[in-house]
Amino acid sequence: MSTKYIAVLRQSGGCDYTIGCGIEVVKLDAESMDDAQRECEALLENNYWDVESRLDSITVHEVTRSSEMDLNRTCKEIAKRKKDELREDEEKRHVRNSLP
Quote the DSSP letter at residue 31.
Answer: S
Helix and strand totals (H; E) in the chain: 2, 3
Report the largest interatomic distance among the alpha carbons of the chain, rounded to a whole angstrom: 77
Q: Output the pLDDT for position 80.
A: 96
pLDDT means over runs of 10, the chain (100 residues): 84 67 89 95 87 86 90 95 92 76
Backbone angles phi, psi at 73, to 5 degrees: -65, -45
Alpha helices by DSSP H, 1-100: 33-47, 71-98
Confidence (pTM):
0.64
